[in-house]
Amino acid sequence: MANDAVVHIIDDDEAVRDSLAFLLDCEDIATRTYESAVQFLKVASDIEAGCIVTDVRMPEMSGVDLVGRLKEAGVTHPIIMITGHADVPMAIQAMHAGVADFIEKPFSDDTILNAVRSALAEQQGRNAIEQERDTIRAKLATLSGREGEVMEGLVEGKANKVIAYDLGISARTVEVYRANVMTKMAARTLSELVRMVMIARLA
């Protein structure tokens, strides 16, 4: 778990905010608290990596509405929703909108801690994939136009001779371009190259 990960707690009940922050602080998990979804949205585009814990029912804007606004803003932090029994259908709706987990009140310390740790692990894994994707895209940008065409043929599973025929060049020339692609992409095997291209094409 990244040491700089932060749990962003959103609840209009000060006692709930403070108790959650205290619990997480005792586990060496950094927190920031917000008294409303509106307050959080003002800074949401520039928050630290981590996860979001939000109540469902809050004045001005509900937790469910917040999820929709965050999605529109491109905020991808995992979201844990705290819900009362009557709000479970609403929380299920939020799950379909992309909430990572929802916890029904009253909940134990272990329940919220496990949910937070799982969300932080998910965020860390997501960040690692995004970093790898960016690195691969940078390597792809170094390929010449012809190298890119040969790479596309390789990824599609075509033999050198077929790629040569499609591009109107010799099989020997394809081999040269193929070697260049493997070197620039730092791919040891064809399967590794295919994996890289698939990651680079992730949205």
Residue 6 has pLDDT above 60, yes or no: yes
Burial class (CB in 10 A: 0-12, 13-18, 19+), 176: middle
For helices 145-155 and 160-167, angle between their N-to-C axes, nearest 10 degrees: 130
Asked if the model's pLDDT at residue 2 lies above 50, the reply is no
CA distance 5 to 29: 7
Q: Catalogue all structural domains in the chain, each as residue range(s) with its CATH number.
A: 6-130 (3.40.50.2300), 142-200 (1.10.10.10)
Report pLDDT for 174. 96
3-state secondary structure of 31: strand
pLDDT tens string 125-174: 777 788 888 899 999 999 999 999 999 999 888 999 999 999 999 999 99
What is the model's pLDDT at position 176? 96
**CB neighbours of 114 closer than 8 A, spacing ≥ 6?**
none
- Look at residue 11 in the predicted model and tell me its pLDDT: 93
DSSP per residue over 138-150, as a string? HHHTTS-HHHHHH
Q: Summarize pLDDT for 71-100 with one digit per residue, the tens.
A: 888 888 899 988 876 666 776 777 777 788
pLDDT in tens, 19-66: 999 999 999 999 999 999 999 999 988 888 889 999 988 888 888 889
| pTM summary value | 0.65
Distance (Å, whole) CA 150 – CA 54: 49
Q: Is 69 helix (H, G, I), strand (E, B) or coil?
A: helix
- Give the pLDDT score at 86: 65
Residue 23: what residue type? L
- Contact residues for 73 (Cβ-Cβ < 8 A; gap 6+): 41, 44, 45
